[in-house]
Copies of this chain bind each other. A is one copy, B any other.
Amino acid sequence: MTPTEASRLLDAFARGETTRDEVLRRFQAAPVADLGFASVDLHRELRQGCPEVIFGAGKTPAQVTAIAQKIVQASGRVLVTRITPAHVRPFQRKFPRAKYHEAARLLAVGPTPKPQGLVAVVCAGTSDLPVAEEAAITAEFLGARVRRVFDVGVAGLHRLLARLPEIQEAKVVIVVAGMEAALPSVLGGLVSRPLIGVPTSVGYGSNLGGFTALLGMLNSCATGLTVVNIDNGFGAGFAASRINALAAD
C-alpha cells in the first residue's frame, strides 16, 4: 500500500465510504516484505510514487538483489540507482536480462512502458554525463520519451543555438551543469517550458563540491527554472517524468 493509498483509505473511512473491517483488512494485507536488514515496503516509500526503485548506495550486493527479487515478484520490474561495480555481477546472476547502465550507475529489470511526451536532457560538458544519464534513464524507466542534447556549454554559444529547436520541442527540459552553471540561465531565456536544473560537483578550487553550481542555479534570472540537489539526476528524472505525464494526461 502506497502512502497515497493509505491516506485515501483513511479519508474514505472518515467520509463513511468504507468500513472499519475493510480498513483493517487492507492495512494487514499491505505487502511489506520483511527481510531483516530492510523492510522492502520502506524502500518503496522512500521513492514514493515509484515503488520499483532501490537506492543502491550503502547496501550490500546481497541486500540489493534480495530486495529486487521481492519487488520484481510483485510488479515485474525494478530500477536500482547509485550502484557500485560490485553490485553488478551478483545482480545479473539472479536477473540475467538485467540491463547495466555503467555511466549512470543504474541497473534495470523488466519491460519499459511505451514512451510518451518528450523530456530533453541537456548537459554542459562531458564530465556531467553520468548525472545526465542517470536523469535520462530514470525518466525513460518511468515512461517518458527522452532526447539527449549533450556538450552544449555556453562557452560555445553557437552549438547550443544549433540544437535549440530540438530542445524547444520537449514538454520539460532537464539542464545538467557544473562549474558556474551558466547554461540554465541562458536556456531559460530561450525555451518556454518548465526547466529542472541539476547542479553537478564537476570542477575544482572554489567550486565547493557543486555548491557554486547549485547557488548559481538558485539565483538564476531565468524564470520557469526549479532545482534539485547536487548530482541528483534521479530526482530530476523523476520530477520531469511527473511533469511530462501531466502533459500526456
Contacts and interface: CB of A to CB of B under 8 A. Distances in A.
Contacts of A196: 226
Nearest to A220: B180
Interface of A: 1, 3-4, 6-8, 10-11, 13-14, 16, 19-20, 23-24, 27, 37-39, 41-50, 57-59, 124-127, 151-159, 161-162, 164-165, 168, 171-172, 179-182, 185-186, 188-194, 196, 201-208, 210-232, 235-236, 238-239, 242-243, 246-247, 249
Contact of A16 (B20, B216, B247): B20
| Copies of this subunit | 8
A195 to B, nearest CB: 8
* Cβ-closest 6 pairs across A and B: A45-B156, A205-B230, A6-B158, A226-B226, A182-B182, A182-B185
Contacts of A188: 48, 155
Contacts of A165: 8, 11
A193 B49 CA distance: 9
A159 B214 contact: no
B219 A212 contact: yes
Given A210-B205, A215-B215, A46 B127 contact: no
A68 to B, nearest CB: 15
Contacts of A50: 223
Given A3-B158, A204-B231, A215-B206, A16 B24 contact: yes
A213 to B, nearest CB: 8
A15 to B, nearest CB: 8
Query: Which of A4, A37, A211, A219 has the most chain B CB atoms closer than 10 A to its own CB?
Result: A219
Nearest to A18: B20
